[in-house]
Amino acid sequence: MRESMDTVCAVVVTYNRKELLLECLEALRKQTRPVQGIYLIDNASTDGTPELLLEKSYIAELPPKELKEPWEKEFEIKNLTDGQPIKLHYVRMHENTGGAGGFHEGVKRAYEKGYDWLWLMDDDTIAHREALFTLKEKINLFGLDNKKLGFVCSKAIWTDKTPHIMNIPGIKQLVNGVPFNFYEDKGVLLVETASFVSLLVSREVIKKVGLPLKEFFIWADDVEYTLRITKNGFVGLYVAESFVTHKTKTNYSATKMYDWRFYYNVRNWLWIYKLHDRRKYVFHLLKRILLTPKLPLKVWHINIKACIGSFIKNPKLGNIGRSGTI
């Protein structure tokens, strides 16, 4: 398909960050390579997100106050670069399904709409004006058969312009038998995994590997999804010339966070091993249990609970059938 005919839909998941969300949406509207659609998944925000979107003319109608299932409505906004229309698909979730549930829902719905490429990002991701253009340019220059191309990702930086620790892609010496720097002269590196902070993936790949796992709730769902893509023989590309700013409060990594999210970080990483390498799962499960006394006392019971949770339950893969339906 020719570049001019490709349709790109951004998938943005938001929860209680309405001001940052507006920055994210404005940055999407300023892309020099315009997007044709935006799927905005509002995870039942309680900070007045729908009202602010209405005030700023992103939506023309508020969702019902009481919802028992997701509510979707399509609106139209303008690209700030060339004035062309962008379809804004606003989905108000009936409950907070976490980032993982939001991306599951967004990818599913955008796929069903028939977009060629989905550009996944959090609501605190601010894409630089050339970010999408550079991703698409590298896809074209790379010269790789698109049937083998799994995803491309941007360089995520923090507000001080240093690399964002949480969003550093996973690199191995060999990715599907190819050295990670084999295509360095083309300005790309091969990566095995990447984050949902500026990840561009094609509908053909989604048809092959399915959807992100909503059971993860938060954290590591992007690692599992991109690992699933590369383990299916597809290529993942890191494009250092495509920039996004990830405007978290601090430049942090999930490994040292001991708040309510700790449970999901432990359980989800164990799930990744369980799904993709059962022998490693047993090793890491035992290692994680033995690690308990070295952790802060307040998370001992959470660590054990997460280990047990990874053992007794399995996430369900969201597959897409041959007909293209989910």
Q: Tell me: pLDDT of 1 over 60.
A: no
Q: Quick one: pLDDT at residue 252?
A: 85
CA angle, residues 249, 193, 199, in degrees to nearest 5: 65
Supply 300's token pair.
């001992």
CA distance 228 to 150: 10
Chain segment 266-308, per-residue pLDDT in tens: 999 999 999 999 899 999 999 999 999 999 999 999 999 999 9
Q: Quick one: pLDDT at residue 325?
A: 32
Q: What is the mean pLDDT of residues 185-209?
A: 95
Nearest to 225 by CA among 294, 292, 142, 150: 150
Q: Please check whether residue 18 is in contact with residue 45, taking contact to mean a CB–CB distance below 8 angstroms.
A: yes
Q: 1 or 9: whose pLDDT is higher?
A: 9
How long a stretch of residues is the chain? 326
Q: Tell me: pLDDT of 326 over 70.
A: no
Dihedral sign (CA 188, 189, 193, 197):
negative
Q: Please check whether residue 103 is in contact with residue 121, taking contact to mean a CB–CB distance below 8 angstroms.
A: no
Q: Quick one: pLDDT at residue 144?
A: 54
Q: What is the mean pLDDT of residues 118-133?
A: 98
Q: Quick one: pLDDT at residue 253?
A: 80
The mean of the pLDDT values for the chain is: 93
Q: Quick one: pLDDT at residue 160?
A: 97
Percent of the chain exceeding pLDDT 70 equals 94
Chain segment 235-261, per-residue pLDDT in tens: 999 999 999 999 999 998 877 788 999
Percent of the chain exceeding pLDDT 90 equals 85
pLDDT confidence band for 322 (50 / 70 / 90): very low
Residue-by-residue DSSP string for 245-267: EE--SS---GGG--STTHHHHHH
Q: Quick one: pLDDT at residue 191?
A: 97
Chain segment 145-181, per-residue pLDDT in tens: 556 899 999 999 999 999 999 999 999 898 888 899 9
Chain segment 66-109, per-residue pLDDT in tens: 999 999 999 999 999 999 999 999 999 999 999 999 999 999 99
Q: Tell me: pLDDT of 262 over 60.
A: yes
Domains of the chain and any CATH numbers:
3-248 (3.90.550.60), 255-312 (no CATH)
Q: What is the mean pLDDT of residues 133-141?
A: 91
DSSP 298: G
Supply 50's token pair.
């729908």
Q: Quick one: pLDDT at residue 3?
A: 46
Q: Tell me: pLDDT of 17 over 90.
A: yes
Residue-by-residue DSSP string for 217-245: -SSSHHHHHHHHHHHTT-EEEEEEEEEEE
Q: Please check whether residue 274 is in contact with residue 281, taking contact to mean a CB–CB distance below 8 angstroms.
A: yes
User: Can you list the alpha helix ranges (DSSP code H) found in the chain?
Assistant: 18-29, 49-55, 98-112, 131-142, 203-209, 221-231, 262-276, 278-290, 300-312
pLDDT confidence band for 14 (50 / 70 / 90): very high
For 89-114, b/e burial (b = at least 16 CB within 10 A) is: bbbbbeebbbbbbbbbbbbbbbbebe
